[in-house]
């Protein structure tokens, strides 16, 4: 399976949404999965934390080698997100989990949902939304 390199950028403004760039280096199915994950968080996020797409930004999301033993990693201090889909892993699930970290959810504060330590679902749960509320990204 080919792991496409992707670069996404993010601008976090006090009264503007989070603005990402999704280049065409994602395979079409991966694009659908990443857009879908962002759309799901947008159903819950407040105006200042909505994820939108544009050619501007200052965060980078890139594919990584799945042999590293993890499917995703986020550093808000470095403004970097790494994502891949090793065999058996879902790009949509990994993207949803990493977008949660970008919104400010630290660690893995839920037992059931995309923000659990080992998420098994691609769907954002009430526990995920509660964690998002706790950090002020969801009303």
- Please name the fold of domain 18-131: Collagenase (Catalytic Domain) (3.40.390)
The fraction of the chain above a pLDDT of 70, given in percent, is 63
Q: Which two tokens stand for residue 65?
A: 């080698």
41 neighbors 73 (Cβ within 8 angstroms): no
pLDDT of residue 11: 32
Give 55-76 pLDDT, tens digit per residue. 766 666 666 666 656 677 777 7
pLDDT at 126: 96
38 pLDDT tier (thresholds 50, 70, 90): confident
**Single pTM value for the model:** 0.79
Which pair of tokens denotes residue 116? 């659990």
Contacts of 84 (CB under 8 A, 6+ apart): 3, 63, 64, 65, 66, 71, 72, 94
Q: Show me where the domains of the chain are located.
A: 18-131
**What is the model's pLDDT at position 69?**
61
């Amino acid at each position: 399976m080919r792991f496409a390199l992707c670069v996404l950028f993010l601008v976090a403004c006090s009264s503007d949404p989070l603005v990402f760039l999704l280049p065409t280096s994602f395979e079409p199915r991966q694009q659908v999965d990443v857009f879908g994950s962002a759309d799901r968080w947008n159903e819950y996020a407040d105006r200042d934390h909505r994820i939108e797409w544009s050619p501007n930004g200052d965060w980078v999301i890139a594919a990584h080698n799945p042999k590293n033993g993890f499917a995703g990693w986020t550093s808000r201090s470095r403004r970097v997100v790494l994502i891949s889909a090793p065999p058996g892993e879902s790009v949509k699930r990994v993207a949803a989990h990493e977008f949660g970290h970008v919104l400010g959810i630290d660690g893995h504060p839920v037992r059931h949902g995309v923000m659990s330590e080992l998420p098994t679902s691609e769907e954002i749960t009430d526990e995920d939304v509660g964690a998002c509320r706790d950090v002020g990204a969801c009303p």
